[in-house]
Homo-oligomer: A and B are copies of this chain.
Amino acid sequence: MNTLVAVDWGTSSLRAARLGPRGEVLEERSSPQGILHVPPEGFATVFEALCADWTRAGSTFCLMSGMIGSRQGWLEAPYCPCPAGFDSLTRHLAWVQPGRTAIVPGLSCERGSVPDVMRGEEVQVFGALQLLGLEDGLLVLPGTHSKWVRVERGHITSFSTFMTGEFYALLRQHSLLARTLPAEDGPLDIAAFERGLALARSGGSLLASAFSVRTLALFDRMATTALPSYLSGLVIGEELHASLVPGDQNPPVVVIGSPALTERYVHALRFSGVEALPVGAQATWQGLWAIARNLNL
């Protein structure tokens, strides 16, 4: 393998990178054609349109992760059950074109009586661990559906999905609170964000705390422009409260996400006295490159 075409193909967008022999990013491209916007027979065409010049070279291998491996994607890559190590991903690739193009499987786990799933985050987790030189850890991947992931001796042992970003958007746009909140979010108001975090940390339920967005405005106790930051603190704070143990026994938490969300989660973790180790989007490319290298193509 001389170069790797690494693809992160999710529900709402598609990102691709051409990586050199040492995993270095030679070029990046993106498209809004997430799997929801592609008809069932259209994946090859969309991929060709974005990356044909990259894949024409004979020794180029292509590896994809994300919802592209779901039942609604190009080819279903069944979930690997946890605990799952880095090698499990390599062994269970779904081959679109043998030896040339493969899709990384997602992971499933059991939490009590209910299952949980991820697709794409497993690649970021292993990529981040390699970048940081870690074999154990607690990681969070904030987003529409945040994932909290526990890794022990190089294996993902359990994880949990929080619909944090989606709850924020639902409350922001479709709830009674939308009438109270300003049209635009504006920059983060740190004091309001921390006030939301503090209320969430004291326990209780978002079902109740969310109503305070309305009452604080009703009694003129918080500026309207600060309310989105307060609500963000309430939802992120509840996610942290459910994921961390009380007191100072929490390990450092690796944060993998977009710059804006990573900043909020790092701030929220430190506000709770927990060390945060931010890792950027390069975790995806690192993870895909490591899997490809492991194949010895």
Contact = CB atoms under 8 A, between A and B. Distances in A.
A160 interface: yes
Given A215-B117, A219-B115, A207 B174 contact: no
A245 to B, nearest CB: 13
A112 B201 CA distance: 13
A199 B167 contact: no
A91 to B, nearest CB: 22
Interface stretch (A20-28, A233-241, A286-294): A233-241
Interface in A237-277: 238-239, 241-242
B117 A207 contact: no
Interface string A193-205: 0010011001011
A239 B202 contact: no
Interface in A33-50: none
Interface in A169-191: 170-171, 173-176
A132 interface: no
B239 A163 contact: no
A285 interface: no
A113 interface: yes
Nearest to A211: B161
Contacts of A114: 199, 209, 212, 215-216
Nearest to A205: B242
A111 to B, nearest CB: 8
Number of copies: 2
B235 A160 contact: no
Contact of A199 (B113, B170, B174): B113
Secondary structure class of chain A's binding surface, majority of residues: helix
Given A115-B216, A199-B114, A215-B114, A205 B241 contact: yes
A206 to B, nearest CB: 7
A57 interface: no
A205 B202 contact: no
Nearest to A145: B211
A235 B207 contact: yes
Contacts of A241: 205
A47 to B, nearest CB: 25
A202 B112 contact: yes
8 contacts: A113-B198, A115-B212, A115-B218, A115-B219, A163-B210, A170-B174, A170-B175, A204-B242
Given A116-B215, A117-B218, 18 more contacts: A114-B212, A114-B215, A115-B216, A115-B219, A116-B211, A117-B215, A160-B208, A163-B175, A163-B176, A163-B211, A167-B207, A170-B171, A170-B174, A170-B175, A173-B174, A205-B239, A206-B207, A207-B238
